[in-house]
């Protein structure tokens, strides 16, 4: 029974494809891909709608107010109202803007965000597209976002847009490095770039009750935190949302966008967030595996979305708690702290592997992480160096 519920989507797809029996192979292949794409879009656009209203609700709760509660029961139909509002708004294109580039930027940014969703295993046998270098695909697609942001900034022909795009690209490039390097230890330990293999490697329990997730090893925990923070920056979320800092540059690269194009940017940001948290779940939190053996009867995709939801809640929580950081603080943090720590994770993972992947390896890798962390915090300590602030202006 539990197996059939677990595989209900797989058998559902098989049933749909059985209607095509007798047609040539390529037709079945195309139909199969289309079903995957349709399912992905349906699930994640619903999740986007749900997330947008839940975020406002939770933020309201954090800031001691109600949040949206007028449209539908508990304000749950708010995204529908928002969507209609965005659709009927006038689409304004600045006269001096580069029409084609201005139009293509939101399209490209949404397309890349959605593409990245394709390689994540959402449950047992529920990977939409299995690619040999799936992790590489994720980052290859993600790196295209920078060009899309640039197109938005340059195409708008507005100095705020351009400044926002520059800030966005600068921080995206800086944090892409720790983001990718924190993935390296997982890839090294598993010996594969395929998400399915990585999830399969996290099956089982140590001592019979601790799940074999990478987040429970010292290097895995460190890499997970670094990955999570880098993911926060990559999706331009508070406290790292300087690219769209309202108080300084209106809305960054989205300044000149209105109506549905703005909604597309908004959607791309959320979908990017789902993708990055989904990858974090896959890499460090055991993917769709249950945390306790007794709970394995619950379908795998439920576990995946529970973990995804928990991470997304932390995103919202941080947004409601932390103020925006300064641009130079973000950059210094990336190059002086995140990057060396990410390299330490790689070394710690190697130590863990060569010390036998057991308790001994656990302790040794903890020692490596602790030494690097202490050394970095001593070197980067600026407590004694505060001097009167000086300003330098462009010559």
**Contact positions vs other proteins (CB under 8 A):** 26, 98, 100-101, 131-133, 136-137, 139-144, 146-147, 150-151, 154, 169, 173, 191-193, 390, 392, 395
CB 136 → other proteins: shortest distance, Å?
A: 5
CB 169 → other proteins: shortest distance, Å?
A: 7
Nearer to other proteins, 70 or 96 (CB): 96
Q: Are 113 and 275 in contact (CB under 8 A)?
A: yes
Q: What CA–CA distances, in Å, run from 4 to 122, 170, 293? A: 16, 48, 18
Nearer to other proteins, 323 or 388 (CB): 388
CB 31 → other proteins: shortest distance, Å?
A: 15
- Nearby residues of 378 by Cβ (< 8 Å), 6 or more positions away: none
Nearer to other proteins, 191 or 323 (CB): 191
Nearer to other proteins, 34 or 173 (CB): 173
Nearer to other proteins, 150 or 227 (CB): 150
Nearer to other proteins, 68 or 142 (CB): 142
CB 120 → other proteins: shortest distance, Å?
A: 16
CB 146 → other proteins: shortest distance, Å?
A: 5
CB 390 → other proteins: shortest distance, Å?
A: 7
């Amino acid at each position: 029974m539990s197996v059939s519920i677990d595989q209900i989507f797989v058998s559902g797809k098989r049933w749909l494809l059985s209607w095509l029996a007798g047609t040539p192979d390529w037709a079945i292949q195309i139909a199969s891909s289309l079903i995957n794409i349709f399912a992905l879009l349906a699930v994640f656009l619903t999740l986007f709608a749900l997330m947008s209203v839940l975020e406002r609700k939770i933020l309201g709760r954090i800031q001691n107010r109600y949040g949206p509660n007028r449209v539908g029961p508990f304000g749950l139909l708010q995204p529908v109202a928002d969507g209609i509002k965005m659709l009927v708004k006038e689409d304004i294109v600045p006269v001096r803007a580069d029409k084609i580039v201005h139009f293509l930027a939101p399209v490209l940014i949404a397309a890349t965000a959605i593409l990245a969703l394709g390689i994540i295993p959402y449950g047992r046998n529920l990977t939409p597209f299995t690619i040999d270098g799936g992790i590489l695909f994720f980052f290859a697609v993600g790196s295209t976002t920078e060009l899309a942001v640039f197109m938005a900034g340059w195409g708008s022909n507005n100095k705020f847009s351009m400044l926002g795009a520059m800030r966005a690209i600068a921080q995206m490039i800086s944090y892409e490095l720790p983001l990718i390097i924190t993935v390296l230890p997982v890839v090294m330990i598993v010996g594969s770039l395929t998400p399915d293999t990585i999830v399969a490697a996290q099956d089982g329990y140590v001592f019979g009750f601790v799940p074999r997730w990478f987040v429970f090893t010292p290097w895995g925990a460190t890499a997970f935190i670094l990955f999570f923070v880098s993911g926060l920056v990559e999706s331009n979320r508070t406290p790292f949302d300087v690219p769209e800092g309202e108080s300084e540059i209106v809305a960054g690269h989205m300044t000149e966008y209105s109506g549905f194009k703005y909604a597309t940017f908004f959607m791309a940001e959320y979908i990017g967030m789902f993708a990055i948290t989904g990858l974090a779940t896959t890499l460090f939190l055991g993917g769709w595996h249950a945390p306790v053996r007794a709970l394995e009867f619950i379908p795998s995709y439920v576990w995946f979305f529970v973990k995804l939801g928990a991470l997304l809640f932390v995103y919202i929580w941080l947004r409601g708690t932390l103020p925006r950081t300064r641009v130079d603080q973000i950059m210094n943090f990336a190059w002086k702290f995140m990057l060396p720590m990410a390299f330490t994770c790689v070394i710690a993972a190697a130590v863990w592997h060569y010390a036998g992947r057991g308790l001994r390896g656990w302790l040794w890798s903890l020692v490596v992480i602790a030494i690097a962390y202490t050394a970095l915090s001593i070197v980067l300590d600026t407590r004694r160096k505060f001097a009167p602030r000086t300003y330098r202006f462009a010559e």
